[in-house]
Each structure stands twice: as C-alpha cells, then as structure tokens.
Amino acid sequence: MTDATYLIVDIETGPLPEADLREIYREPTYEEYAGKCDKRWKPETVAAKYEESKITGWQDFVDKAALSPLTGEVLAVGLASEVGGKLQPRILTGPEDAILMATWQAVEQAMEMDVKIIGHNCEKFDWPFLIRRSWKHGIDCPDVFRGRWLTDGLIDTQSEFLKGTGDRYVKLDVVARFLNCGGKPEESHLIEWEGIERKTTGEHFWRYFRDTPANRQIAIDYLVNDLAMTAKIAKRMQLV
C-alpha cells in the first residue's frame, strides 16, 4: 500500500449457521403477536394471522439474519487501493476471525500512512458490523469512531452524498448510476441448493457465496464491482 492514494473497504455478510440461528430464534407467543396487531381486527382474524406468522416467521428471521452482527457473520471483505492509476482489489475470505484480523491490519496500515479509507454506508453498517464481530472473537480493532462520528480520514460516500438533505439512506447502485460510475449487475442465476433464480444483489450475496464454485465466483465478482463503483464515486465527488 506504499503508493496507494486511498483504501476502499466493503463487507459482505451472511446468516450464522442454522444450528446457531435455531438457538437464537424465539417464536412470539400469541399474546405478544396480538399486542402488535390492529385493534380493529376480530379475534379470529388475529388467530389466523398468528398461525400464518408461525409458518413464515423462521424464514423471515433467516432472511434478515445477515443484517445484524448478532445473527450474521462476515463472509468476505473487499479492499481496494489505487496504485499507479489502476485499482487493485483484494478479497478476503475464509474463517471470520482471520478475515477480521486481516481487515484491521489493512485499516491500521492505511491510518498510519494517512491514506483515506472509504466505504458506502460504512458508518451505519460496515464499521459497526466489523467492530461487533471483532468483539465476539476477542479481536482488537482500531478507533474508527470518535464518539458518534467517523475518525478523521474515514469517509462514507453515502453520508457525503446526502449532506444537506433529510434522507438517511441511498443505495450504492443509485449513486453510481446517477454519477455515471457503473451499476450493479442485473442478471439472475439459479441457486443450486435452493433451485430458485435470484438476482445478484447484496441481499443474496451469501446464497451465491455458499453455493456452487461458479456462483461463488459470481459473488466475488459482485464484490469487486462494488469496490470499483465506490472508488469511481469517491473520485467523481472529489473525496480523493
């Protein structure tokens, strides 16, 4: 990284193994469910919908598990630096603790060299997720936050794009297409162990990553593309 001008960081997550999720998952009681229902509903309507929720509740829990460090884990971290005018991506995979340690090593090195560290939605997702999973493994991590805010030198392209607006979230794909900096792939592929075609999106990254070698490569390529988009956005927004 000696000649790098910046470091792009992007993480991809997936749900914990099913056995771990089963230990965490708790089906709401009828009373808990009824307490959240529209008070105008008749008792038989509440009862019917409660039975429906018991059928779909577990799958809904699994589908959202990747979004929380309590129920999800880091599957891959993408790092990219520009050297000699060319983006050099590096994808970290393997055991989660090894991914975390390698990520923090790269981040600390960038901090020591005063290299800007950039991500999209990293302030609200990537950094909090990485920190909490590091706590889980007992891994030390650098101070990427100063109080509630990112440490100097860390940049969130989402926060920068939304400054002066009342909006809180904008997708990377939306910003990239608006600024003519590429876009997400739109094709779908068959997920072998599910037998369902799903689009190559962040939501389904873990499904591709844990599927066939071919689909795993599609997931990796998806992450590399995200790194490239973030780098182009940062340059277009004159953040680097």
pLDDT in tens, 225-235: 999 999 999 99
Do 97 and 207 lie in a common domain? yes
Q: Which domain does 45 fall in, by range?
A: 18-65
pLDDT tops 60 at residue 1: no
Is residue 186 assigned to a domain? yes
Q: Decide if 230 is inside a domain.
A: yes
Give domain status of residue 191, yes or no.
yes
pLDDT of 83: 85
Q: What is the DSSP letter of 29?
A: P
Confidence tier at 166 by pLDDT (50, 70, 90): confident
Average pLDDT over residues 151-159: 96
Convert the pLDDT of each residue in 26-59 to its tens digit.
Answer: 988 989 888 989 989 998 998 998 888 888 889 8
Q: Choose among 59, 62, 79: nearest CA to 126.
A: 79
Q: Is residue 120 part of a domain?
A: yes
Report the distance separating Cα 172 and Cα 184, nearest Å: 9
Tokens of 222: 């998806």
Over the chain, what is the mean pLDDT? 93
The predicted model scores a pTM of 0.91
- Asked whether residue 42 falls in the same domain as residue 98, the answer is no
Judgement on whether residues 196 and 110 belong to the same structural domain of the protein: yes
